[in-house]
Amino acid sequence: MSFPQTSEYVKWDNDLCLTILGKMYCIAHLAYPFRFSVKVEKDNLAEVLAHRGVKPAPYLARYNWVLIEEETSLTDQELEQLIGNSYHLVVMGISPRKRAEAGLLQ
CATH code at 34?
3.90.1150.30
The tally of domains found in the chain comes to 1
Range of the domain at 79: 6-102
Partners of 26 in the β-ladder: 18, 38
> Domain for residue 15, yes or no?
yes
Q: What's the pLDDT score for residue 44?
A: 93
> Domain for residue 59, yes or no?
yes
Q: What's the pLDDT score for residue 73?
A: 78
Q: What's the pLDDT score for residue 74?
A: 86
> Domain for residue 62, yes or no?
yes
Q: What's the pLDDT score for residue 80?
A: 92
φ, ψ at 16 (rounded to 5°): -85, 120
Measured CA to CA, the distance from residue 94 to residue 78 in angstroms comes to: 25
Measured CA to CA, the distance from residue 78 to residue 106 in angstroms comes to: 25
> Domain for residue 1, yes or no?
no
Task: Please list the alpha-helical segments (H only) found in the chain.
Answer: 45-49, 76-92, 96-102
Q: What's the pLDDT score for residue 106?
A: 56
What tens-digit pLDDT sequence spans the chain (106 residues)? 688 789 999 988 889 999 999 999 999 998 888 899 999 999 999 999 999 999 999 999 999 999 999 877 788 899 999 999 999 999 999 999 999 888 886 5
Q: Tens of pLDDT along 40-70? A: 999 999 999 999 999 999 999 999 999 999 8
Measured CA to CA, the distance from residue 64 to residue 97 in angstroms comes to: 25
